[in-house]
Amino acid sequence: MAVSSILLQAVPPFDFWSTLQAHGWVDLLPNEYQAATNSFLRIEELSSGKVVRLDISAGEDDDSVPIMIEIQHTGKLSGADRSQIENAVRHMLRLDEDFAEFYALCRQHGRPWSEMLPGKGRLLRSPDLFEDMVKVICTTNIQWGGTRRMVRELVESFGSPYPFNSQLKAFPKAETIAAVPFSEFQARLHLGYRAAYIHTLAVHYAEGRQMFNDFFKSESSSAEIKKKLLAIKGIGNYAAASILMLLGCYDEIPVDSVFQQLMYQKYFHQEDFDLKDALVIYADWGKWKYLAYWFDLLTFHQMAENERASD
DNA sequence: TTCCAGGGGTAGA
DNA sequence: TCTACCCATGGA
């Protein structure tokens, strides 16, 4: 086994821990949170075919936050391999996104947003859009434990194994799933009615990867991207808002049971409400609605947790 | 055993 | 645009 390393610099303010913990993505394979070191590992299949293990952690510094990537691999990493790993981690941690405008809005709003510390607000994502789209479909109409199970089944059944520990696998490529007959794909996993959505997505993604990657182009408005997302079977309003967030567009709220529960408990005093009235609550956040809602949700749960602890 | 989850597709109004 | 109904699966 060979070990290499890459050091990145995150421009402050940057909060590594909250980026990992802000939503559940760090707990979905092939990511694995390492609580003892406040880091996470990830098995990544590179374009060169190498399957490597990444251990990603962060240090403390006043001027910049060093992001350390330890890479365990076979043979020698090429320049292209190293570049791909660096870009993947930059993308996952959103090192190139600028949240200054959001932080300024937080300071203008009252609590809880005024307590938003700069550096927070980022939500971890996957290096590849296909992985994030599949994972979002796996969050629909199921509890979180079911999402973790379905993603685990996908990785264990179709992911490329890490050469030094075949128990560890990368997230399956769209091409890999597309090459499996649907009947076999459906039989080997327990995805319910989502099996057809995910298999069809894999086929289309493998055929037209560039079309999906065009979602990242800045000239596409989030409304245009949303329209394209809604045309994909298995993706409705909730999933589209979630995928837009993962793409870096925060202007749509993912209306699901979690959102409804927050509205019911915090804003409508345990009474029925109209969805339009609920969405008005975040209307003045413009293109930052998702982050405003998500921080509201996290702090509401944190306060409830604190109250339980003090009882 | 029943209910429903970090919903979505479809048909019909 | 809105509503009713159906969809697989497994945890609570």
Pairing of strands A39-45, A51-58: antiparallel
From first to last of its 311 residues, chain A has per-residue pLDDT tens of 999 999 999 988 899 999 999 999 999 999 999 999 999 999 999 999 999 999 999 997 767 899 999 999 999 999 999 999 999 999 999 999 999 999 999 999 989 999 888 888 899 999 999 999 999 999 999 999 999 999 999 999 999 999 999 999 999 999 999 999 999 999 999 999 999 999 999 999 999 888 888 887 767 789 999 999 999 999 999 999 999 999 999 999 999 999 999 999 999 988 889 999 999 999 999 999 999 999 999 999 988 888 877 77
- Residue A15 structure tokens: 């909060």
- For strand C, is any atom closer than 7 Å to the CB of A255? no
| Nucleotide with C1' nearest the A140 CA | B7
Contact indicator for A241, A290 with CB cutoff of 8 Å: yes
Residue indicated by tokens 């590594």: A16
The length of chain A in residues reads 311
- What is d(CA A113, CA A259) in angstroms, rounded to the nearest whole number? 17
Residues 6+ apart with CB under 8 A from A171: A29, A30, A45, A126, A128, A131, A154, A155, A159
| Nucleotide with C1' nearest the A256 CA | B6
Taking the stretch 129-158 of protein chain A, residues with Cβ within 7 Å of any atom in nucleic acid chain B are 139-144, 146-147
**CA–C1' span, A95 to B7, in Å?**
31
- For strand C, is any atom closer than 7 Å to the CB of A142? yes
Backbone phi and psi for residue A44, each to the nearest 5 degrees, phi listed first: -125, 130
- Residue A238 structure tokens: 């909730």
- For strand B, is any atom closer than 7 Å to the CB of A9? no
- What is d(CA A72, CA A43) in angstroms, rounded to the nearest whole number? 10
**CA–C1' span, A191 to C11, in Å?**
15
- For strand C, is any atom closer than 7 Å to the CB of A110? no
**CA–C1' span, A174 to B7, in Å?**
23
Task: Enter the pTM of the model.
Answer: 0.97
**CA–C1' span, A190 to B2, in Å?**
21
Over residues A194-238, the pLDDT tens digits come to 999 999 999 999 998 888 888 877 677 899 999 999 999 999 999
DSSP annotation of A263 reads I
| Nucleotide with C1' nearest the A239 CA | B7
- Residue A267 structure tokens: 């804003």
Residues 6+ apart with CB under 8 A from A305: none
Residue A55 β-bridge partners: A41, A70
Backbone phi and psi for residue A120, each to the nearest 5 degrees, phi listed first: -90, 175
Nucleotides on chain C that have an atom closer than 7 A to a protein CB are: 7-12
Nucleotides on chain B that have an atom closer than 7 A to a protein CB are: 4-10
Q: What is the largest CA-CA distance in chain A?
A: 62
Backbone phi and psi for residue A37, each to the nearest 5 degrees, phi listed first: -110, 5
Over residues A257-276, the pLDDT tens digits come to 999 999 999 999 888 899 99
Q: What pLDDT is recorded for position A202? A: 97
- For strand B, is any atom closer than 7 Å to the CB of A258? yes
